[in-house]
């Protein structure tokens, strides 16, 4: 009851602030037009959406060569990847709003956009369920939500597929991957995930969703335990990636 009352008061407070102080874009601080929420369309337009051929393994822009410089020398257990955008200034600013400033609607919108990109990949057209990469419970308590869960919801809406958020779990709080090398990233997440509900993934083709695909270590660790639990095939999708040249 207290949680519900707090949520109502928070909503009323936000509405009052919007009335007294006209809403502004959370990024550029320009006034929002009718129909715009949190971020203006001009800032959304700064997201560098990928177009043209992509590497089927990691989603990086492809030149048609057999050897992709972004994922060369890496072995993945997932069958392929779809990435929506390059992790440049536009995408990074929006992802930071989602992860660190509680702008949860950004995650759902990104998910719908990512879902449309997944639709264009015939390999992924038959996936049965969408799964978010899980956070450790301590991180969820700290942040209040899992940003990948919000993105997965949007992807599920776009694909018309159910989202399974509880089958996969992170068993320990890992170090942030930001400053780690590719080898260190793989070691950091090794053994960090388990499938708590194998009956919800066994025999199915799955789409695993995250906010950023860097080396693919986290996504691959998740894909591995899902396959070991009986999943037929796992694809991955991410909002953005800082591709190597």
User: What pLDDT, on the 0 to 100 scale, is given for residue 236?
Assistant: 98
CA–CA dist 69, 63 (Å, integer): 10
Question: Running DSSP on this structure, what letter comes out for residue 221?
Answer: H
| Tens-binned pLDDT, residue by residue, of the chain (245 aa) | 444 454 445 545 544 544 444 589 999 999 998 888 899 999 999 999 998 889 999 999 987 666 788 888 889 999 999 999 999 999 999 999 999 999 999 999 999 999 999 999 999 989 999 999 999 888 888 889 999 999 999 999 999 999 999 999 988 755 454 554 455 455 556 567 999 999 999 999 999 999 999 889 899 999 999 999 999 999 999 999 998 75
Distance CA 220, CA 95 (A): 21
Please name the residues in contact with 38: beta carbons below 8 A apart, sequence gap of 6 or more: 25, 26, 32, 97, 103, 105, 106
The neighbouring-strand residues paired with 245 are: none
Give the C-alpha distances (Å, rounded to integers) separating 152 from 80, 120, 142, 147.
Answer: 17, 17, 20, 9
Q: How far apart are the first and last CA of the chain?
A: 53
Q: Give start and end residues of each alpha helix (H) in the chain.
A: 2-20, 41-44, 89-100, 104-119, 137-143, 147-159, 182-189, 217-228
- Residue 198: predicted pLDDT: 95
Structure tokens at 34: 């009718």
Domains along the chain with CATH numbers: 1-43 (no CATH), 46-172+190-241 (3.40.50.2020)
Q: What is the per-residue pLDDT for 238?
A: 98
pLDDT of residue 22: 54
Predicted local confidence at residue 133, as pLDDT: 96
CB-CB contact of 84 with 241 (8 Å): no
The single-letter DSSP state of residue 175 is P
Give me the pLDDT at residue 183, please: 52
């Amino acid at each position: 009851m207290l949680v519900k009352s707090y949520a109502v008061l928070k909503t009323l407070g936000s509405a009052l602030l919007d009335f007294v102080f006209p809403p502004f874009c959370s990024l550029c601080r320009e006034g929002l037009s009718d129909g715009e929420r949190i971020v203006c369309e001009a800032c959304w337009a700064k997201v560098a959406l990928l177009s043209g051929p992509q590497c089927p393994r990691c989603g990086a822009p492809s030149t048609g060569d057999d050897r992709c410089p972004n994922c060369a020398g890496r072995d993945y257990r997932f069958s392929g990847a779809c990435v929506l955008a390059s992790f440049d200034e536009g995408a990074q600013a929006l992802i930071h709003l989602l992860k660190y400033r509680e702008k949860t609607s950004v995650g759902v919108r990104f998910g719908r956009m990512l879902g449309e990109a997944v639709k264009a990949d015939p390999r992924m057209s038959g996936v049965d369920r969408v799964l978010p990469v899980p956070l450790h419970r301590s991180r969820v308590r700290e942040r209040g939500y899992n940003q990948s869960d919000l993105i997965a919801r949007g992807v599920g809406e776009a694909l018309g597929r159910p989202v399974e958020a509880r089958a996969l779990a992170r068993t320990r709080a890992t170090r942030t991957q930001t400053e780690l090398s590719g080898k260190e990233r793989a070691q950091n997440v090794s053994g960090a995930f388990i499938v708590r509900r194998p009956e919800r993934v066994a025999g199915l083709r799955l789409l695993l969703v995250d906010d950023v695909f860097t080396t693919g270590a986290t996504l691959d660790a998740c894909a591995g335990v899902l396959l070991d639990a009986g999943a037929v095939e796992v694809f991955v999708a991410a909002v953005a990636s800082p591709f190597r040249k």
